[in-house]
Amino acid sequence: MIRVLIADDHGIVRSGLRMLIERQPDMEVVAEAEDGVAALESTQEHRPNVAVLDVSMPRMTGLQAAREIRAHAPDTRVLMLSMHDDERYFLEGLEAGAAGYVLKRAADKDLIDAVRTVADGRTFLSDDAQKALMDEWLDGATEVEEPLTPRELEVVKLIAEAYTNRQIAETLKLSEKTVESHRTNVFGKLGMRDRVEIVRYAIRRGLVEP
C-alpha cells in the first residue's frame, strides 16, 4: 500500500486529488495539508511514502517544503504538482529534491503513474518537463546565484508574509535568537533596510505571490 500525503492550498484540488488517489486499490491518503509548514509537520508525523506538494503555497512554498522533507524525512519521496510549465520551475523542483514533477493540466494522465513511479524509488517527469530538461542540458544550464541559504529563504518568506520573529521561530521550530540572526544576515547579504524591500525580493524570487 502506497501511503500518500497531499498538500495544496486549494481545498477543491485536495479533494480532487484525494478522490482520484483513494480510488486506486494500492494507495491511500494518510494526511492533507494546506501549506508547506503543515505538509512538513504531517510528513514527520505520518511518514508517508509519497508527499504530493503544490509548488506555490503560503507559509512555506512546495519547493521549500520539499527541501525540508528531504532533510528531515528522507524516506518520503516528494512529487511536485504545478501549474507552471516553464523549465525554470522544473529545475527548481528537482534541485529542491523532488523525485517527480507533474503538471496540473496533465494530472489526469500522469498523477497516478507518477505516484507509483516515485514510490518505487524512480524519477518521474512529465513529457514537457523531460523535453525542457533536455533543452536546458543542451544549452548548458545557467546557474542562478543565490546569496541566501535555504533556511534564510524560509525566513525571508515568513518576513514577507508579515510574521513576527516569535511567530517565525514557532513556525520553523527555531529559537527567537536564531531567527534574529538569520534576519540580520538576510538584510546584510541583500543590502536591504526594510521589510518592503524584503517583500519585493520575496515576490521576485517567487517565494510569495504579489
Partner 1 sequence: MTRRDDSLIGQVVAANVVLVAITLFAASLAAGLDLTVSDQRWSFLILALAIVLTLCVNMWMLQRRFAPLERLIKRIEGIDPTEPASHQLPDRDPVEEIDKLSRSFNRLLERIEEERRRSGTLAMRAQEEERRRLARDLHDEVNQALTAILLRLEALAQDSPAGSLEEVNELKRLVNQAMEELLNLARQLRPTALDDHGLMPAVEAQLKRFSARTGVEVSLNAEGDPETLPEDVQTAIYRILQEALANIGRHAGATAVSVDVEADEGRLELRVRDDGAGFDPGALTRGGQSDGPGAGLGLSGMVERARLAGGELDVRSAPGGGTTVTLRIARLQRVAS
Applying CB under 8 A, which residues contact partner 1?
A: 10, 12-13, 15-17, 19-20, 23, 83-89, 104-108, 111-112, 135, 203-206, 209-210
Question: Whole-number minimum distance, CB 149 to partner 1, in Å?
Answer: 19
For partner 1, the closer of residues 11 and 149 by Cβ is 11
Question: Whole-number minimum distance, CB 117 to partner 1, in Å?
Answer: 17
Beta strands in 57-168 (DSSP E): 77-82, 100-103, 124-125
For partner 1, the closer of residues 17 and 40 by Cβ is 17
For partner 1, the closer of residues 97 and 206 by Cβ is 206
Measured in residues, the chain has a length of 210
CA pair distance 81, 105, nearest whole angstrom? 10
For partner 1, the closer of residues 15 and 181 by Cβ is 15
Cβ atoms within 10 Å of 115's Cβ, excluding its own: 26
Helices and strands counted in the chain (H then E): 10, 6
**With contact defined as beta carbons under 8 Å apart, do 7 and 65 qualify?**
yes
Q: What is the largest CA-CA distance in the chain?
A: 55
For partner 1, the closer of residues 16 and 97 by Cβ is 16
CA pair distance 184, 11, nearest whole angstrom? 36
Helix (H) or strand (E) holding 177: helix 176-190
Dihedral Cα 142, 148, 150, 156, nearest 10 deg: -120
Question: Whole-number minimum distance, CB 179 to partner 1, in Å?
Answer: 25
For partner 1, the closer of residues 84 and 170 by Cβ is 84
Question: Residue 79 in 3-state DSSP?
Answer: strand
Question: Whole-number minimum distance, CB 167 to partner 1, in Å?
Answer: 24
Question: Residue 121 in 3-state DSSP?
Answer: coil
Question: Whole-number minimum distance, CB 34 to partner 1, in Å?
Answer: 13
Question: Whole-number minimum distance, CB 3 to partner 1, in Å?
Answer: 19
